[in-house]
Structure 1
Amino acid sequence: MSTAGAGEPGEWGGVLAPRLAQFAAVAREEHVTRAARALGVPQPTLSRAMARLEADLGLALFARRGRTLTLTTAGRDFLAHAERALAEVGRGAEAVRADAHPETGKVAFGFLHTLGSETVPGLLREFRRDHPRVRFALVQNYGEWMLQRLRAGELDLCLTSPVPDAPDLTARRLDEQRLRLVVPDDHRLTGRRRIRLAEVAEEPFVTLEPGYGMRRMLEALCAEAGFAPRIAFEGEEAETIRGLVAAGLGVALLPPPAVPRPGVVELNVTAPRAVREIGVAWVAGQQETPPVAAFRRFLLGRRGQLLAG
């Protein structure tokens, strides 16, 4: 490839990156034979690589005096950039190696907002009894967003609901959580402990936005009960939804709270069976680092015991 063929910085990187360490070695040794010996490559191979590098750049990087080489002005400038690039690659390699270390590595872990106040802190506390130095990058969001981050390689594992069924992901059910109908504390049903969902078919609902797993569950359960919910307000977080219910703006179907909230009453739903499954998901076939594998085994060992409430 000549200089005419290289345009964007990314294209130059692809052309030049394999030769940076060779160039830096020749610059340090000021001698191709000694540099070739240090690198463990044949001297003719290294000479051709340096000639090709200069041809690609369209610049002389070395002034040649017999077998001795000295850097030109352009060569000194390029060496400074090459050494910074090589140092950055070295730091990157050390960082990813550190993240994969069995004892001190990192796990990128995603989970639902509703699991963040008690469930996940309790899991992390228990896991770190045996793995006290493993680090975590924690992300809270709704299920579909986390599955996208899994596929993009930004998360190692996530706790989500509903449990995904996709060919590129592996998922395991860990537990289930009963959903409750949340009503204002002055609602006509507050004297009841149990209700059928059909009894609130005419009520306005406060719920999570489309795309959230709880929203899909609400619509599916209401359909099973014989009606379509009338959505009055949409939000992004369960406790905000409870606040809207407490303000008298509607009723909601939600998992139980970590701490009871004043202003609302939570009723058990007897029909249809209102539960959500919680599972752990990861990318199918992806090689795991030791800390990720250890945490996944720990989560799978908590089947049926994941949730506090």
Structure 2
Amino acid sequence: MAHDSSSQPIRLAELDPEAAVVRLTPQLAQFAAVARLEHVTRAAQSLGMPQPTLSRAVARLEAELGVDLLARQGRAVRLTRAGRLLLGSVERALAELERGAEAVRAEADPAAGRVAFGFLHTLGTEAVPELLRGFRDTHPRVRFQLVQDYVAAMLVRLRAGELDLCLVSPLPDSPELTARPLDEQRLHLAVPADHRLAARRRIRLAEVAEEPFVAVEEGYGLRQITDGFCAEAGFVPRIAFEGEEAETLRGLVAAGLGVALLPPALVTRPGVVELEVTAPRTRRAIGLAWVTGRPLTPPAEAFRDFVLSRRGRLLGGH
């Protein structure tokens, strides 16, 4: 096939790999159409483009690669050995692109798409299952990728686009994120059953200023909240042990290793007594966060609207 001499092509060796791929991609798809049909005119018709334009595009590709890909036989064309080698790679790449496009279409399907949803460990036992059950009543085919993590890690993944929505506490204060409060959760002071204050029902947090605390690690929202309430009470907590989730901390309390500010236990833990804190008011706001201005897929948008409609009922009275 004669090369187009109307312009001087840039050889691929002169480009970095990424630029070469960007430059070649449209021409490769056009070459594949010609190669499959072995006819330039019919290929141009299938692509909805003028035949001379297609001929120039394939000639330009040959010039940039430095090889002949097609040989003319009357009105038809046949693949050269180099053309057959390239066509195999191009067809595999196009098939992979089509699979990717299909996956994207499936994920955005309003009826059966996927929602990537992050939430706190402490909400995974009751609140999140109830949300999912309620949503699936009207969207039974929507799929979920569920991620439990601490707040800082979830917000990193939210910003990166790995998550659509996050159920978090405390709520992020950043213009790049939108957060809507949904409910408040009371935090109790968990003490060992044989603790000096275990017979009380209510205490002020300052009364345990000298006690060892067990807490989640730094970076977790509950740790930030605990430190903040202790600061309000006029002291810095002396952290004796750190864990990653509330039930582990409850076990440490039961073992007499410290006290902890924790959400209410769903099931009473032997060896642990939970006291109401009257000062400061130890409640944490729980809300839904997403990236400001980033469009959500239809299933993610539907789930966001459903969760927001549960405002004030997220925790079922906890």
Q: Tell me if both proteins adopt one fold, taking TM over 0.5 as the criterion.
A: yes
User: What secondary structure sits across from 1:75 in the alignment?
Assistant: helix
- 1:4 is aligned to 13
Hey, what's the Cα distance between the residues in 1 that align with 2:147 and 2:27?
39
Residue by residue over 1:238-278, the C-alpha shift from the partner in whole angstroms, topping out at 9 and shown as x without a partner, is 11111111111111111112322222111111100101000
1:56 corresponds to 2:64: yes
1:11 CA drift (Å): 4.0
User: What secondary structure sits across from 2:137 in the alignment?
Assistant: helix
- Aligned partner of 2:259: which letter? V
TM-score by length of 1: 0.96
1:242 maps to which of 228, 234, 250: 250
1:122 maps to which of 121, 130, 133: 130
Q: Is the 8 A contact 1:159 1:280 kept in 2?
A: yes
Q: Identity, % of aligned pairs? A: 69
1:143 corresponds to 2:143: no
Q: Is the 8 A contact 1:3 1:55 kept in 2?
A: no
Hey, what's the Cα distance between the residues in 1 that align with 2:239 and 2:64?
63
1:7 CA drift (Å): 4.3
Q: Which moved more, 1:37-46 or 1:65-74?
A: 65-74
Residue by residue over 1:156-205, the C-alpha shift from the partner in whole angstroms, topping out at 9 and shown as x without a partner, is 11100011121111110000000011111111111011111000000111
1:273-284 matched pairs, under 5 angstroms: 273-284=281-292
Uncovered stretches (5+) of structure 1, i.e. residues with no partner: none
2:182 maps to which of 174, 192, 209: 174
- 2:5 is aligned to none
Hey, what's the Cα distance between the residues in 1 that align with 2:267 and 2:96?
47
- 1:40 is aligned to 48
- 1:155 is aligned to 163
Q: Is the 8 A contact 1:3 1:56 kept in 2?
A: yes
- 2:102 is aligned to 94
User: What secondary structure sits across from 1:207 in the alignment?
Assistant: strand
- 2:7 is aligned to none
- The aligned length equals 308
- 1:190 is aligned to 198
Hey, what's the Cα distance between the residues in 1 that align with 2:184 and 2:93?
50
Q: Which moved more, 1:105-114 or 1:45-54?
A: 45-54
Q: Is the 8 A contact 2:190 2:253 kept in 1?
A: yes
User: What is the RMSD computed on CA atoms of the aligned residues?
Assistant: 1.3
1:15 maps to which of 10, 17, 23: 23
Uncovered stretches (5+) of structure 2, i.e. residues with no partner: 1-9
- 1:25 is aligned to 33
Q: Is the 8 A contact 2:12 2:20 kept in 1?
A: no
User: What secondary structure sits across from 1:130 in the alignment?
Assistant: coil
Hey, what's the Cα distance between the residues in 2 that align with 1:6 and 1:63?
27
- 1:256 is aligned to 264
Hey, what's the Cα distance between the residues in 1 that align with 2:202 and 2:61?
77
- Aligned partner of 1:298: which letter? F
Residue by residue over 1:10-44, the C-alpha shift from the partner in whole angstroms, topping out at 9 and shown as x without a partner, is 44432222222211101012122221111111122
- 1:203 is aligned to 211
Hey, what's the Cα distance between the residues in 2 that align with 1:244 and 1:253?
12
1:133 maps to which of 124, 132, 141: 141
1:66 CA drift (Å): 4.0
User: What secondary structure sits across from 1:265 in the alignment?
Assistant: strand
Q: Is the 8 A contact 1:20 1:86 kept in 2?
A: no
TM-score by length of 2: 0.93
